[in-house]
Structure 1
Amino acid sequence: MRRRVLPSVFALALAALAGAPAVALADQPVVHAPVGAVRGVEAEGLRVFKGIPYAAAPMGALRWKPPARAPGWSGVRDAQDFGPACWQPKPRTGSIYASPLKAFSEDCLSLNIWTPATASKAPVLVWIHGGSLIGGSSSEGLYDGAALARQGIVVVSINYRLGVLGYLAHPKLSAESPDHVSGNYGLLDQVAALEWMRDNITAFGGDPANVTIAGESAGALSVMYLMASPRGRGLFSKAIAQSAYMISTPHLSEPRHGHPSAEAIGSATAAKLGAKTLADLRAMDAETITTSALMAGFQTFAAVDGKVLLKQLVDTFDAGEQARVPILAGFNSGEIRSLRILAPPPPADAATYEKEIRTRYGDLADDFLKLYPSDDLAESVLLAPRDALYGWTAERLVAKQTKLGAPGYLYYFDHSYPAADAAGLHGFHASELPYVFGTAKTTPPAWPKVPDTPVEAKLSAAMIGYWTGFARDGVPTAADAPAWTPYGTDRGYLAFAEDARPGTHLRPGMYELNEAVVCRRRAQGDTSWNWNVGVVSPPLPPGVPKCR
């Protein structure tokens, strides 16, 4: 008798030491999905399933292949712990974004599900984490889906391949591909996750016909890629893009817009790593190649390959060829305060600044200086790249969807609190995330601590309401908060400061200026429209090319 009792007592003691709830195995929820049965955890009206494989990441001799369909399994699979993060370089010491991650693997294509215990055909929100396509994980505490799921939706977060393992293009990789393309493996992982949900999410109480894709920063860039890619068609019905950036991106096999081809970038990276063949690259262990490629200057981009991505994002959205879905998009007031590497160096004085701007912007210089004047250089060098990357993209997204006949909802996050202000980080990049997820207590270690006050709680409740309302039926609504009108003809938006405040015509002239700048660079053909803003902008060609 003693032999039967002791293991149970020992297991309960271990659970107590680990701070885990001592729940009998029979009381833990089991879902029988088409892919197989999984056992999660149930608490406070939610069922949570973690680390479910949605696809197989090719490794070793098969590295740099599209994801393989996840094999099913027999028996009941444990789904109570997050899967390992995809390989990535170690984060910069002291970064406010660095989260402690426990394990890494190439076999990292897993997802996590938070679902109401009684959910049936509930709306589904799929979260794509940020991190410049080189870092991050769905296991970060910032992305815990519980608060959103308590509003009656199913929340799913996913891992996807990153950096050189997720986005390397190379002529020899293209040659061995049936489609004669390479790169975009991380993006194909995201597609595979959406396909898995189409086939399995009903078993977890979700509605595969009501899926919203959402992401911040590189996750929002991924949202735009999915909207543009034919591979994403029919897999989602709404989109949320937080701090997206509609940058130019390399073409697969030819240089364009100031970028070498993606294959040329891959070949140069392989040479710097001393790899003469694909076998050499595939023989390198994942940690070494991830770090070495970054040190060798590999920049992670998706590639315009004619298969996964047909055109530059700007061209796809101009042609109205993106997914015709409602969108919620916006940006933060202090985006560049925590990303100062994106800011141009401040000029010596106001006269130098004005001279440089007039030299570089020509007939658009007056418009530029009106928005970013010389009498506050410190602020102007932060606002110009913020608007060129994030502000212009957010307004462009809602404007283009509006033109398609799909509702667009624009926001501007200008909220801060004492710890952020003390660090000079008012409205910093990603600072809206604890409010959207209700995760102020689980931010990364160096994140400015969000205070526990009624103001913060009320703002978070409003944002959770708006986001889940949008996921539910495409209309962001929140209790005890103002109505959020679509962008429409009045160019409406909602500002989040101390509370939610509606307005129209956010930053007049900002969208038009940046639209004109990008239009000219596109026509020029040999210049990107990424981070070359203000005093580091290449001189714009004169004249006004006709743009759609």
Structure 2
Amino acid sequence: MSVTTVSTADGDIRGVRSGPVVYWRSIPYAAPPVGDLRFRAPRPVTPWTGVRDATTFGYASIQNRSGAVLGYRKYQPTSEDCLTLNVTAPARPASSPRPVLVFIHGGGYLMGTSAMGLYSGKHLVPRGDVVLVSMNYRLGVLGYVDFSSFGTTDRPFESNLGLRDQIAALEWVQRNIAAFGGDPNNVTIFGESAGAHAVTALLATPAAHGLFHRAIAESAPGDWEMNREDAAHWARECIDALGATPADAVSALTEADPHELRRAAFRAFRDCVLSSPGFFPMVPVIDGELLPKSPLDAIADGTASRVPLIIGTNRDEGALFARYLDVMPTTVERLRRVFAVTDPEAHQRIAATYERHAEPRASVRLGGDLMFWRPTIAVCESHSQHAPTYNYRFDFTTTVLRRMRLGATHAAEMLPVFGIKNEPMEFGITAAGGRRGFRQVSNAMQSHWLNFARYGRPLPSWPKYELPQRKTFIFDNPTRVVSDLERDRREAWQSYKGNYADLWSRPGGGGE
């Protein structure tokens, strides 16, 4: 290993070389949001003198320890001082500025960290000759609860803090990425799950326009948002769970230990999910300021960033939740409750499109499509009217994943996108066969993602999503293109009148 020093706008940092790449870890892109900066928009970094060590990871965002898992019995420490990002770049010199990929991790806006080994880019970066940036942002109660209605003139609180953090990270990229060999005029944002929703939110956020030039959303729950009224109601529930009243909200929120805040908000979150399966209340807020309208509405009316977009889902999205994370409407009873409060007349019509295909575990497939495929198709239908749009579905699975009743489940596409060749994870999921197929699918996904990052389009074998053909690229072994995939289901979901906010059964009103 050899050490590499780079000069940024805030000071010099020292990274470390490992094989064909150089890593710089936990570089601050905003001031620590502590003390008077808790619940405030990110502020500039205080420049430093000397050389700052960036060879090891610092802190993950405040969350339950299990969310920041890095390996077997290995967890990243958490802190409010978490507004940092990481850069991975090829070690060899560049003849010209390299495309930049900025990754936003998922985790339901509750958990996750950019320090996860999969996100290092050690396979993707040298193959594509690109620069990879991954970021931390505030999660849970500190990033995605809008306490602005409880602030005062002396101690204001601001909304959409996690989204503001992501914008601050993208601004850092514009100021600094050239020092790492990256091209600030060729930035692709990409994310998975909540990170994919963040991509759609950034498309719809005027303050983010011009900070990126292409976007990739993998399994985006595209209509995850709240209006201001519901957000204030939810903030009140968090304050109640903290044992405070609106009169002493400011002191309670500013003086509480961050983990005390997290635990209180999680109690309220748990009660919410139990009463409203599929509703995650810690999401961006349509505040009329930073986020003027819902991402789906902004994409539909053309006010979102008109940049090339790859967006897609996995065939078995719901399987992971049914097997391990019991928070989604993936049972017959939960789906009945969901349709009862959103669009009762649609239940039979939509369910029939799954039953007529003799779909095994139809409720699991339907629940996953409700959360992910339904809003993804809505984005494709709209964004394709304004900018090049490419839709995919990830279908590849292995014998091991089938035996685990996961199949091509939520987040499974992340393994081939980042690459796990010759790593324990690859050996594990292909232990009963499928390694050659997995590597072929990984090669295809990386080739398309990297070509898109460099030129704004995937390889020629992947056509645009355009009406009326509605072509979708299927990542399987072999890959293929399908016109109007699952047409009957698409048409049934497009006539569905429900929306995400309808899922919330608010105490004392609304819902069931």
- Name the TM-score class by shorter chain: 0.7 to 0.9
Displacement of 1:206 in angstroms is 0.6
Equivalent-residue separation in structure 1 for 2:197 and 2:73 (angstroms): 21
CA deviations 1:257-295 (Å, max 9, x no partner) are: xxxx21221122112211333122222111222122102
Aligned to 1:111: 85
Contact 1:168 1:182 in 2 (8 A): no
Q: How do 1:346-385 and structure 2 match up within 5 A?
A: 346=332, 361-362=344-345, 364=346, 367-373=349-355, 376=358, 379-385=361-367
CA 528–266 in structure 1, closer or farther in 2 if over 3 Å, else same: closer
Displacement of 1:367 in angstroms is 4.0
Displacement of 1:44 in angstroms is 2.8
**TM-score, with normalisation over the residues of structure 2?**
0.86
Aligned to 1:516: 495
Aligned to 1:9: none
Number of residue pairs the alignment of both structures matches = 482
* SS across alignment from 2:385: helix
Displacement of 1:39 in angstroms is 1.3
Structure number with larger C-alpha Rg = 1
Equivalent-residue separation in structure 2 for 1:303 and 1:98 (angstroms): 36
Matched, 1:431 2:412: yes
Aligned to 1:214: 190
Equivalent-residue separation in structure 2 for 1:62 and 1:531 (angstroms): 31
* SS across alignment from 1:395: helix
**Structure 1: which 5+ runs fail to align?**
1-22, 255-260, 533-537, 540-548
CA 97–496 in structure 1, closer or farther in 2 if over 3 Å, else same: farther
Equivalent-residue separation in structure 2 for 1:374 and 1:483 (angstroms): 32
Aligned to 1:463: 445
Contact 1:41 1:49 in 2 (8 A): yes
Q: 1:265 aligns with which of 234, 243, 246?
A: 234
Displacement of 1:347 in angstroms is 5.9
CA 63–365 in structure 1, closer or farther in 2 if over 3 Å, else same: closer
* SS across alignment from 2:450: helix
Q: How do 1:219-258 and structure 2 match up within 5 A?
A: 219-252=195-228, 254=229
Contact 2:318 2:369 in 1 (8 A): no
CA deviations 1:500-544 (Å, max 9, x no partner) are: 222211111323322221xx336xxxx835599xxxxx89xxxxx
CA 530–220 in structure 1, closer or farther in 2 if over 3 Å, else same: farther
Aligned to 1:184: 160
Displacement of 1:42 in angstroms is 1.9
Amino acid in structure 2 at the alignment position of 1:346: V
Displacement of 1:101 in angstroms is 2.4
Displacement of 1:171 in angstroms is 4.5
Q: How do 1:408-447 and structure 2 match up within 5 A?
A: 408-439=389-420
Displacement of 1:99 in angstroms is 8.4
Displacement of 1:417 in angstroms is 1.0
Aligned to 2:121: 145
Aligned to 1:89: 64
CA deviations 1:220-239 (Å, max 9, x no partner) are: 01111101111111100111
Aligned to 1:343: 329
Give the superposed CA RMSD: 3.1
Matched, 1:495 2:467: no
Contact 1:493 1:506 in 2 (8 A): yes
* SS across alignment from 1:461: helix
Aligned to 1:5: none
Matched, 1:70 2:45: yes
CA deviations 1:305-340 (Å, max 9, x no partner) are: 111111122222221111100000110011100112
CA 112–92 in structure 1, closer or farther in 2 if over 3 Å, else same: closer
Aligned to 1:12: none
Contact 1:40 1:47 in 2 (8 A): yes
* SS across alignment from 2:99: strand
Aligned to 1:18: none
Displacement of 1:365 in angstroms is 5.7
Equivalent-residue separation in structure 2 for 1:174 and 1:282 (angstroms): 11
CA 279–177 in structure 1, closer or farther in 2 if over 3 Å, else same: closer
Amino acid in structure 2 at the alignment position of 1:277: A
**TM-score, with normalisation over the residues of structure 1?**
0.81
* SS across alignment from 1:521: coil
Aligned to 2:275: none
CA 280–365 in structure 1, closer or farther in 2 if over 3 Å, else same: closer
Amino acid in structure 2 at the alignment position of 1:528: A
Contact 1:163 1:290 in 2 (8 A): yes
Displacement of 1:440 in angstroms is 5.7
Matched, 1:285 2:257: yes
Amino acid in structure 1 at the alignment position of 2:184: P
Equivalent-residue separation in structure 2 for 1:192 and 1:244 (angstroms): 22
CA deviations 1:161-205 (Å, max 9, x no partner) are: 000011222255554499x87321111000000000000001001
CA deviations 1:331-373 (Å, max 9, x no partner) are: 001110011231343369xxx99xx99x9643x5664244122
Equivalent-residue separation in structure 2 for 1:435 and 1:115 (angstroms): 20
Aligned to 1:486: 464
Displacement of 1:473 in angstroms is 1.0
Equivalent-residue separation in structure 1 for 2:165 and 2:360 (angstroms): 41
CA 429–96 in structure 1, closer or farther in 2 if over 3 Å, else same: farther
Matched, 1:454 2:436: yes
